[in-house]
Amino acid sequence: MKLFFRTTGEGTPLLILHGLWGASENWLPIAHSLEDRFQVILPDIRNHGQSPHADEMNYEVMSDDIIELIEDLRLPILPHIVGHSMGGKIVMALLLKRPDIVNKAIIVDIAPVAYSQRDGGSHNKIIDFMANFDFTRFTTREEVREAIQQHFKTERSQQLFLKNIKKTPSGFEWKINHRVLSQHFNEISGCPGQLPHDKYEKEILFIKGEQSNLIAGIDCLQEQFPAARIKEIPGCGHWIHSEQPEKLAQAIRDFFAHQ
């Protein structure tokens, strides 16, 4: 699949993959803080943002999409890659499939484990809201905003929905393919399946939000990523790129500075 992507900056190529419900635009602040040294490439994952919709949604096909993008870009040197949450699992699948296609990798606040329905409670709420939201009741974006604010009180939750709305000739609709995400949620919250390699032997950095519990410790990483190390970013949970963008950008710089 040919993904939509945006680029900024010059230098060493660096792909950043967003998480579930996200889009490339969410990572633009991080990209702009890195653009003095990196050519930052921000794709929208299938069924998200401006990329095409498709009925298949698993780590096999999502990692194939990124491999296709890297090959199409014909970069002069191997790119680095960063993945947050679902994007981190896409990176894991890619590394266990084609370790030769990237230079160094960072995984942001996710581990190579399956997460339970309890962990996915907020995701289920998002899916239900999107599936039952009737855009035909509204004629302006402000009316849509007010309706969302009645159900979700935090700014982050509201922005998740507002950034996923697009205007069409017939009204508004979701950018995101919530139907397919709902159908494949167990695969998304699970782990990449059978892949050509059992282990990725090169050094890899896992970045953890101090207040997040999604990375339980180094033991859950080292079976598949024996050279993994963890860096904890203080003062944030899972959404490190919005809660501590400067510290995250610096951690990315520091790790990729050592070739």
Express each pLDDT in 61-93 by its tens digit: 999 999 999 999 999 999 999 999 999 999 999
Q: Which fold has domain 5-113+191-257?
A: Rossmann fold (3.40.50)
SS3 at position 238: coil
Tokens of 15: 């792909």
Q: What are 26-63's pLDDT values in tens digits?
A: 999 999 999 999 999 999 999 999 999 999 999 999 99
- Please tell me the predicted confidence (pLDDT) of residue 198: 87
Closest C-alpha among 198, 201, 253 to residue 231: 253
- Please tell me the predicted confidence (pLDDT) of residue 196: 75
The two beta strands, 5-8 and 12-17, are unpaired
Task: Please report, for residues 121, 132, 166, 236, the alpha-carbon distance to residue 126 in angstroms, rounded to integers and kept in the order given.
Answer: 9, 10, 17, 22
69 and 42 Cβ atoms separated by less than 8 Å:
no
The three-state (H, E, C) secondary structure of 55-94, written as one string = CCCCHHHHHHHHHHHHHHHCCCCCCEEEEECHHHHHHHHH
DSSP string, 197-213: -S---S-EEEEEETT--
Tokens of 3: 């993904």
Q: Domain residues of the chain, as ranges?
A: 5-113+191-257, 121-182
pTM across the whole model: 0.95
